[in-house]
Copies of this chain bind each other. A is one copy, B any other.
Amino acid sequence: MIAWALRRTIVPILVAGAISALGCSLADAADAADTAATVAERLGHEAQMDDWGYKFLETMTSEIGPRLAGTDAEVRAAKFAEAKLKAAGLDVHLENFPMTVWERGIETATIEKPASQRLVLTALGGSVATPPAGIEAEVIVFRTYSALLAAPLGSLVGKIAVVTERMVRTQDGAGYGAANRIRRAGASEAARRGAVAYLHRSLGTDSHRLAHTGALDYADGILRIPAAALANPDADQLERLAAQGPVTIHLTLTPSERENGQSLTVVGEVKGREKPDEIVLIGAHLDSWDLGTGAIDDGAGDAIVVEVGKLIASLPQHPRRTVRIVLFGAEEMDYSGPAYTKAHIDDAARIIVAGETDFGARPIYEAKLPAGAAASSFGSVFGGLLPPFHVLLSREPSRQGGADVDGLMRAGVPIVSLQQDGLDYFDIHHTADDTFDKIDPAQLAQNLAVWAMFTYLAAESDIDFRRLPSPAP
């Protein structure tokens, strides 16, 4: 890893001076804060010098590979992470929960008319199968999702509905949020109108012949029809051909479901030295889609939070509060947050703050704290550490954390959000292209550094994020 170490930009230790300049506003907490800031700063520096998390990710994505929820591979990943966390000195346990396991089968499609051509697509997670021999039907192309919704009931009887609306590339992933219903709800909307299958343009910003999978939600009481995402160039091709005349395709999807499956959560803790019952929780999800090896989604997040646990466990003294590292199972199939919240609803009040990292390994550019925290002494200290890492401290509070922790948020847990640059994230997200070569170790280390500093400072501080005054408007 010599070459890699040389490639990194090492952030100089310049922060201590900046912190002490904040002394007057920190009032009585100044000495303690200075000490915590110094430790946090050193953690950030160490994070940049170490490749432990990068190697964790390399091993997990190479030797285990894809980690589909509810499969043996997910269990192997959990055992691997458990061993790594134990070796790093954390207290570790696993928590099982039940799930329905969905596995991909054959997925092929060909244009039959006007001329035979293969289409690249992938079944949506949770999709029902076609008959084994497939189905053949004419497609009706809608260039926007609204146009599908505007189609009258019964107007798609016997047809395959295709939505080719394109998601918008944004830094914060808002384009994905806006387009999400196309994948989530489209199949039932098409079925409501009589369609026999549903295809949509992948929720992806690339132009490769690789389709983006993801889970769908069937509406209650509506016939479940097979559903798949088309690679972007294939959606283009269908658009062009359908503009010329009738297009017929043959579609075969053979996924299967298994009831009474199981997923699991890996929990590692560094017990607080003064207030072990107060918890700073950071997490990522361990499962991945089956098409790639889950490097950006969410192996990178796993590597970050596991190494944060390792760095904090190896400090000369533990922070005051407990640091809890959580690797969630079955996030992609929508189980992780609900399962964890349900299991921990009674101790949610002990969680001081929670956050997750699940947006790849590109740099963090903005930190959002719980309401009131940015203007607090905590915000001053944390904010003072961020400039060398090119991270803004937002004046806006964090309003969401992600699928794994939003259940806790609704149960009253304050949330931190460290926003990564996601401009390119949806080029790769949920495709076969999500592999280890897409990870830049220096960018992964920047994430690690910022998470390590935040986690340590929150665990070492007395701040109660639930009881901060709201910021002035």
Contact residues of A with B, CB < 8 Å?
A: 58, 62-66, 73, 76, 111, 114-118, 120, 207-210, 232-233, 236-237, 240-241, 244, 292-293, 431-433, 435-438
* Residues in B neighbouring A433, C-beta threshold 8 A: 207-209, 233
Q: How far is the CB of A58 from chain B (nearest CB, A)?
A: 7
* Residues in B neighbouring A240, C-beta threshold 8 A: 58, 62, 436
Query: Contact at A438–B207, with CB atoms within 8 Å?
Result: yes
For this complex, 20 residue pairs linking A to B, each with C-beta atoms less than 8 Å apart, are A58-B240, A62-B237, A62-B244, A63-B241, A64-B115, A65-B111, A65-B115, A65-B117, A65-B237, A66-B118, A117-B293, A120-B432, A207-B435, A208-B208, A208-B210, A209-B210, A209-B292, A209-B433, A233-B437, A236-B437
Secondary structure class of chain A's binding surface, majority of residues? mixed
| 4 cross-chain pairs, A with B, having the tightest CB-CB distances, nearest first | A209-B432, A65-B117, A233-B435, A62-B240
Complex CA gap A62/B242 in Å reads 10
Which of B65, B66, B232 has a CB less than 8 Å from the CB of A437?
Answer: B232
Which of B115, B118, B120, B435 has a CB less than 8 Å from the CB of A63?
Answer: B115
| Number of copies of this kind of chain in the complex | 2
* Residues in B neighbouring A76, C-beta threshold 8 A: 115
* Residues in B neighbouring A437, C-beta threshold 8 A: 207, 232-233, 236
* Residues in B neighbouring A236, C-beta threshold 8 A: 435-437
* Residues in B neighbouring A73, C-beta threshold 8 A: 115
Q: Which residue in chain B gives the minimum CB-CB distance to A120?
A: B432
Query: Contact at B209–A244, with CB atoms within 8 Å?
Result: no
* Residues in B neighbouring A120, C-beta threshold 8 A: 432
Q: How far is the CB of A234 from chain B (nearest CB, A)?
A: 8
Complex CA gap A208/B427 in Å reads 11
Q: How far is the CB of A435 from chain B (nearest CB, A)?
A: 4
Query: Contact at A117–B66, with CB atoms within 8 Å?
Result: yes
Complex CA gap A63/B244 in Å reads 9
Q: Which residue in chain B gives the minimum CB-CB distance to A210?
A: B209
* Residues in B neighbouring A116, C-beta threshold 8 A: 65
Q: Which residue in chain B gives the minimum CB-CB distance to A233?
A: B435
Q: How far is the CB of A62 from chain B (nearest CB, A)?
A: 4
Complex CA gap A210/B111 in Å reads 21
Q: Which residue in chain B gives the minimum CB-CB distance to A238?
A: B62
Q: A76-B115, A437-B232, A437-B236 are known contacts. Are A241 and B208 too (CB-CB below 8 A)?
A: no
Complex CA gap A111/B76 in Å reads 16
Q: Which residue in chain B gives the minimum CB-CB distance to A427?
A: B208
Q: How far is the CB of A238 from chain B (nearest CB, A)?
A: 10
Q: How far is the CB of A68 from chain B (nearest CB, A)?
A: 11
Complex CA gap A185/B210 in Å reads 30
Q: How far is the CB of A211 from chain B (nearest CB, A)?
A: 11
Complex CA gap A66/B437 in Å reads 30
Query: Contact at A237–B435, with CB atoms within 8 Å?
Result: yes
* Residues in B neighbouring A64, C-beta threshold 8 A: 115
Complex CA gap A448/B432 in Å reads 36
* Residues in B neighbouring A117, C-beta threshold 8 A: 65-66, 293
* Residues in B neighbouring A432, C-beta threshold 8 A: 120, 209
Q: Which residue in chain B gives the minimum CB-CB distance to A71?
A: B116
Complex CA gap A233/B207 in Å reads 18
* 13 further A-B pairs in the complex, CB-CB below 8 A; given A65-B111, A208-B433, A240-B436: A58-B240, A62-B244, A63-B114, A63-B241, A64-B115, A73-B115, A208-B208, A209-B431, A209-B433, A209-B435, A210-B210, A236-B436, A237-B435
Q: How far is the CB of A398 from chain B (nearest CB, A)?
A: 33
Q: How far is the CB of A434 from chain B (nearest CB, A)?
A: 9
* Residues in B neighbouring A63, C-beta threshold 8 A: 114-115, 241, 244
Q: How far is the CB of A81 from chain B (nearest CB, A)?
A: 16
* Residues in B neighbouring A114, C-beta threshold 8 A: 63
Complex CA gap A293/B115 in Å reads 12
Complex CA gap A241/B236 in Å reads 37
Q: How far is the CB of A133 from chain B (nearest CB, A)?
A: 17
Complex CA gap A210/B117 in Å reads 18
* Residues in B neighbouring A237, C-beta threshold 8 A: 62, 65, 293, 435-436
